[in-house]
Chain A
């Protein structure tokens, strides 16, 4: 099934700090997607960026009251909708 992205769908890396977004799609291999999901990063969840480390360093995000740090490359594979 092809998801139709509306204009507000952006990679997680482009979500401004403190702006809430809703995860609409995960990209990448199945193993990778599962690793994200078991950590709570999955479609439908509300996500917020806490910090972005400089020089394309990792992002720290809040998902469902829980914070985690993940690399930029990983974050690029997460598509969110600004809400």
Chain B
């Protein structure tokens, strides 16, 4: 039988990095508590034995206070061996969970991670002595560099059920920890470092708020700069000079007919990269030529923000505002992740403590936060008319986030507890880790986006061929034009948006609307429904009953905002 090894530990101690080291599998690791909200499984082979390694979400104790911690507890019950990863710079607090785990009668190994940091902080831990006291193997590691991982692997067979620590009360454990710390740890006095000073500046309101505005502004500026440069200098030249000439040749060979329409678009007309709606043209150009550059730049910047440890500070600064919206400061994390893709954004709502907070956070995410795939297309579509139009879309969505949050906070019943989160020390992000993490997310995007775009193009072509789309367009035409000031065909794009938002924006572009009409259309496209992938995750996270409520809100709000925008922007 394959033995199950579960990694347990407080949030943000580096369990996911240890997991990646042990299994060679890659999981996202960051410098803020709550990166892992679900478990990941991987295999490790050692001396002919195969082990299943499970990376569990972090927890401070075996009494869960949110959904992510409940997952950790469930994983613990299935474990044959427990690897308890702890932050050596914070031994005393981490030992509480260790003692609870030792009482579980499961073979355990203790990993003192972040061992290098203890030296910088003047902390000396006698790990041999700790091993004697606890009666289980104790291995110091620096998971980021791989130091100590080999010893950990060798010692897995030495994992033991401890016979030294007896089950006791909460108070008993603290007394025990006090006496352990006295025996194994010496802390030298240290001076304020530059890192501490930066930490102070970014969390004190009078300096922190201007810095936060600057960081967000510069981040978006860099995302756009890198994204646009990639398009202008790399991708467009490749597509224009090499790929599309090839497709034109192919077009000649295939000749007119259904296959041509499906693969390339209508025969005879000049090939339009976005509007032709062929699988090899639109289906490939949108994800790779338009969206991918922004995915690369966005995830690169997000990785930097995640790995330095800036996000928890930002959460502290915005806490008061988010509290008024029925969440607390941590609510900014689903929002940030959601800007890349709404799916991980929706999953990260698990770290919020109550149902009310999770409902508000997930609903606002689905309604007001456009994903990078959609944003990239909006930049492409509206950018040429000037930033003014993109500005209207953004301001509308931000205002909506705030107004809707204020309302939901009043009408949704339930608790909205205060923020309580650890602020990790700043860490210099390693270039290698940042590139690796960005690459993992890009690969995920390509695997998700291209099949769905192909499918989208295929379905649209079939529905066109049998006349269903024209029918829908005709039926919805009076609604679209009377209420929202858009042509009937925009309804087809909105329906397509359920499959992929980027494809939908592409279809809107081909309708030759005025810039202001386009603004209304893309704003409504963001609001009315998330894409099907996000929808599925939301059903799972919120439950079917709350999801129906949430979906009703999405449709209602989309209609109201569409009508208001039409009155304001088109003046009719």
Contacts and interface: CB of A to CB of B under 8 A. Distances in A.
B63 interface: yes
A66 interface: yes
A56 B323 CA distance: 11
A51 B205 contact: yes
A56 B320 CA distance: 8
A16 interface: no
Contacts of B420: 35, 39, 68-71, 74
Contacts of B204: 50-51
Contacts of B417: 71
A53 to B, nearest CB: 5
Contacts of B61: 34-35, 38
B121 A65 contact: yes
B422 A53 contact: no
Contacts of A56: 320
A13 interface: no
Nearest to B316: A69
B208 to A, nearest CB: 7
Contacts of B419: 58, 69-71
B60 to A, nearest CB: 4
Contact of A53 (B63, B170, B187, B320): B320
A31 B64 CA distance: 10
Interface in B194-242: 199-200, 203-205, 208
Interface in A49-83: 50-58, 60, 64-74
A66 B418 contact: no
B93 A72 contact: no
Contact of B328 (A52, A55, A65, A71): A71
Tell me whether chain B's interface is mostly helix, strand or loop, or mixed: helix
Nearest to B60: A38
A71 B353 CA distance: 14
Nearest to A40: B93
Nearest to B171: A37
Contacts, number: 98
Given A53-B319, A58-B319, A34 B422 contact: no
A13 to B, nearest CB: 12
A42 interface: yes
Contacts of A66: 89-90, 93, 422
Q: Size class of B's contact patch?
A: 35 or more
B315 interface: yes
Interface in A15-39: 31, 34-35, 37-39
Interface in B419-461: 419-423, 425
A17 to B, nearest CB: 8
Nearest to B93: A40
A38 B69 CA distance: 14
A58 B329 CA distance: 9
Contacts of B329: 58, 69
Interface string B80-114: 00000000011011001100000000000000000
Contacts of A70: 418-420
A72 to B, nearest CB: 7
Interface centre among A56, A58, A66 (most CB of B within 10 A): A58
Nearest to A71: B418
A74 B421 CA distance: 12
A83 B328 CA distance: 32
Contact of A60 (B92, B121, B174, B203): B203
B396 interface: no
A35 B418 contact: no
B145 interface: no
B65 interface: yes
Nearest to B61: A38
A53 B419 CA distance: 12
Given A53-B317, A57-B320, A72-B418, 6 more contacts: A38-B93, A38-B97, A40-B90, A53-B316, A57-B205, A71-B417
13 contacts: A31-B63, A38-B60, A39-B93, A40-B92, A51-B205, A53-B320, A54-B320, A58-B418, A60-B423, A68-B420, A69-B312, A69-B315, A69-B319
Those 10 A-B pairs whose CB atoms lie nearest each other, nearest first: A71-B418, A57-B320, A67-B423, A40-B93, A38-B60, A69-B316, A38-B61, A51-B204, A58-B319, A70-B420
